[in-house]
Structure 1
Amino acid sequence: MAVRTDAGEEAGLHPLGTSASNRWMVSQAHADLVRPRLPALPIAVETRSKSVRFDLARSAIIVIDMQNDFCHPEGWLASIGVDVTSARAPIAPLQRLLPVLRNQRVPVIWLNWGNRPDRLNLSPALLHVYKPSGVGTGLGDPLPGSGAHVLEHGSWSAGIVDELAPAASDIHVAKYRMSGFQDTELDSILRNLGVTTLLFAGVNADQCVLCTLQDANFRGYDCLLIADCTATTSPSYCMAATLYNVQQCFGFVVDSPAIGVALAGLAPDRREAT
């Protein structure tokens, strides 16, 4: 069998895998299953409970439901009388944080609600949450003004707000439940990327963000909730309870400036240079 070179390749073998951290080297006669070891990029951040050190090279940020229907003044929630001002609060800090994380090649994952047009992935129990009387505008129904279907995959309603335009390198995952792990490919993507630490942002903190973070914790991921990049249209005590429960049971609570401070001394694409 050929000897592995300094670059991690082997003469006569070809890489097989979509992620640099999870690939084989194969030929017709041989298969090398030893995964490449990416250089670690440890950083330390001050959370609301303690100083936490984690490997940025094995981290990803999941931005949840920053969509027109939840955050736009002409979206679904606004159309049914919800004040979306608080849901828009994460926009500005995310505008500052995401480019810095991308510069370190941290995967940015947009986890957005995106129903099938026929709604066959939605149970009556789920539809009832948003349409308890059976009438009105619920999941998949047309908005009274624009006619856009609520949170339908590929529609304006399910689109990310313009202020947070994704980069070409970002990853998109559609979900259909409060938790982004239920009945989606999210876990497979994260494991293929070699991710062990997850940063969480988006809306609503006490619903989709918390459910996804809890499921991540249950699956063994290390979880950090970025408080100022997370919000809810629920009463303020719901946000307070979310922050308490995350810090008490499921991970750590951090503010984006603390992450910015930790990243400030890193050169762009340091891992690539290494």
Structure 2
Amino acid sequence: MDPERTAILTIDLQNDYLHPDGAYRRAGYAIDAFTALPERIRPVIDALRQKGGTHISVQFTLVPRPDGEPLISPFLRNLRPFLARGDFAPGSFGHALVDALPPADYTIERVTYSAFYQTRLEYLLNALGISHLILAGLVTNGAVATTLRDAHLRNFETALLSDGSAAFLQAVHEATLTSLSGVTYQMTCAEAIGMLEAA
């Protein structure tokens, strides 16, 4: 892995997921596996940047209508009925990357499970000469897995941080790691730091 041609994608590590005042925590989703991620991932970001790599923050986005109500799919509305006006809205506190992580070099607004679908991510990676991706964030079986599979289809070399991602249930997280073993390398955050320091 050439660090200068590598980007770490942090997926959905936003205030509306993780901050006590965010949409998910207000709705009672206080999951320790989620809140532990930023401090675990930050040293990987720092190690990659010290070697000339790139940090891209992928942020879930609910686009507001002119009246402020979010454009939201019926499936997601049924799954997360608590999502309301202003949640995950561009420019809002909840949409922003959590303070525990350094500001990203680039930000991608994700509106579906994949960070590649109808976004500028692929253009950006190609323009920067990125060939390797490290993925981390939320949730393992959702946006992380879908983005990773899309990256694989586009011939990016990928590595998933096994302890730098999480799902609502640990069993689902572990099952997803197993299902992804055929399309990506997997490593812990500590292993990624060691690899980058040795590069």
TM surpasses 0.5: yes
> Equivalent residue for 2:93?
156
Alignment root-mean-square deviation, CA: 2.1
Aligned to 1:131, the other structure's residue is in SS state: helix
| 1:265 CA drift (Å) | 4.1
* Count of aligned residue pairs for this structure pair: 197
* Matching of residue 222 in structure 1 with residue 157 in structure 2: yes
The amino acid across from 1:213 in the alignment is L
Structure with bigger helix share is 2
Aligned to 1:92, the other structure's residue is in SS state: helix
Pick one of 174, 179, 184 that aligns with 1:240. 174
The amino acid across from 1:112 in the alignment is Q
* Matching of residue 59 in structure 1 with residue 6 in structure 2: yes
* Matching of residue 79 in structure 1 with residue 26 in structure 2: yes
Gaps of 5+ in 2: none
TM-score by length of 1: 0.67
> Equivalent residue for 2:191?
258
The structure showing larger relative contact order (alpha-carbon pairs under 8 Å, at least 6 residues apart) is: 2
Identity %: 25
How far apart, CA to CA, are the structure 1 residues paired with 2:81 and 2:44? 38
The amino acid across from 2:114 in the alignment is S
> Equivalent residue for 1:98?
45
State how 1:198-217 maps to structure 2 within 5 Å.
198-217=133-152
The amino acid across from 1:74 in the alignment is D
> Equivalent residue for 1:15?
none
| 1:57 CA drift (Å) | 2.7
State how 1:107-256 maps to structure 2 within 5 Å.
107-118=54-65, 127-132=73-78, 136-138=81-83, 141-142=84-85, 149-166=86-103, 170-232=105-167, 234-247=168-181, 249-256=182-189
Cα gap change, 1:81 to 1:206, in 2 (>3 Å): same
> Equivalent residue for 1:22?
none
TM-score by length of 2: 0.90
* Runs of 4 or more above 4 Å deviation: none
Aligned to 1:250, the other structure's residue is in SS state: coil
